[in-house]
């Protein structure tokens, strides 16, 4: 049993990272400071995500029929 909880802890750390003590002490909610937001960076990242999704759209259109065929066979 002790091995399983240790494995769960390792998995949680891998998936979610280490939590800071200040977050735990504040009932699990991170503090939000609007003055530290970089609006230009956020807009740039949104633009990159939109461009990436547009570039991936043809790939999804080519792969989708194969996925449908695979799901219909089951």
The one-digit pLDDT tens for each residue of the chain (74 residues) are: 444 455 457 777 777 777 655 444 555 566 767 777 788 999 999 999 999 999 998 998 999 999 899 888 86
* Residue labelled with tokens 């939590």: 19
Nearest Cα to Cα of residue 40 among 32, 48, 51: 48
Q: Which tokens sit at 46?
A: 């949104």
Specify whether 25 is located in the same domain as 42. Answer: no
pLDDT of 72 reads 87
> Based on the domain organization, do 43 and 27 belong to the same domain?
no
What value, to the nearest 5°, has the Cα angle with vertex 40 and ends 39 and 43? 85
Indicate whether 64 and 42 sit together in one domain. yes
Give the global pTM. 0.41
Residues 3 and 26 grouped into a single domain: yes
How far is it, in rounded angstroms, from Cα 66 to Cα 57? 15
Domain count of the chain?
Answer: 2
48 shares a domain with 73: yes
Q: Which domain range does residue 43 map to?
A: 38-74
């Amino acid at each position: 049993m002790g091995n399983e909880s240790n494995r769960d802890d390792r998995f949680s750390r891998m998936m979610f990272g280490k939590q800071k003590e200040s977050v735990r002490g504040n009932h699990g909610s991170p503090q939000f400071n609007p003055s530290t937001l970089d609006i230009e960076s956020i807009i740039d990242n949104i633009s990159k995500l939109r461009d990436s999704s547009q570039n991936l759209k043809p790939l999804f259109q080519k792969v989708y029929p194969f996925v449908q065929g695979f799901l219909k066979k089951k």
